[in-house]
Amino acid sequence: MESASREKSACFTGHRPDQLRGVAADDLRLELQNLIESAVQEGYTTFYCGMAMGTDILAGELAAALREQYPWVRLVAVVPFPEQSRGWPAEWKERYQALLQKCDDAVVLLPRSRPGGYHLRNRYMVDRSALLIGVYNGAPKGGTAYTVKYAQKKGLEIRLLRPESCRR
């Protein structure tokens, strides 16, 4: 993978589908698309996607779709380990595989699942980015909270949607 400029790179974080129940999907999609497109218009060219169910995959799909209008946008899948989607519902496995095919590059960090593998993935993305885009409900624990706190510690600009702002 060619090295992307950190200053022109962003990464995604956010909740899994179970934490987004009751959210108006179309509103969330539109708000997230607006955040990503604004970043592109500000000069961000590379987007790192952790490829998890929920926000990650949705944000990755939106970034990939923006390449029709902004062909210089690069999408990099950051996969914690090869079997990440094992045990997922069929719909999410299909979306995962389809998105992986649309990525310009993929980085697989570990040969197999291990404790801390998801945090390793999140740190990898944050360490290579200047901007964090995500969906976060403010919960003090969990992977999204960890990633937001790590991004704050590393001095990233952070743009978050609150799921409750997209309620039905």
- pLDDT per position as a tens digit, 86-141: 999 999 999 999 999 999 999 999 999 999 999 999 999 999 999 999 999 888 99
Question: In the structure, what pLDDT confidence band is assigned to residue 57 with cuts at 50, 70 and 90?
Answer: very high
pTM of the entire structure? 0.94
What confidence tens digit (pLDDT) does each residue in 4-26 have?
799 999 999 998 766 666 665 77
**pLDDT of 92:** 95
Residue among 141, 168, 167 nearest 15 (CA): 141
Dihedral pair phi/psi, residue 76, rounded to 5°: -115, 120
User: Which helix (DSSP H) or strand (DSSP E) does residue 122 occupy?
Assistant: helix 117-127
Residue among 106, 116, 44, 119 nearest 78 (CA): 106
**pLDDT of 74:** 97
What integer is the mean pLDDT of 34-48?
Answer: 97
What confidence tens digit (pLDDT) does each residue in 148-160 have?
999 999 999 999 9
State the Cα–Cα distance between residues 147 and 129, nearest whole angstrom.
12
- 75 close to 59: Cβ distance less than 8 angstroms: no
pLDDT of 3 strictly over 70: no
- 148: buried, middle or exposed (CB in 10 Å: 19+, 13-18, 0-12)? buried
Task: Enumerate residues 6+ apart whose C-beta is below 8 A from 123.
Answer: 150
State the Cα–Cα distance between residues 157 and 24, nearest whole angstrom.
26
State the Cα–Cα distance between residues 120 and 18, nearest whole angstrom.
23
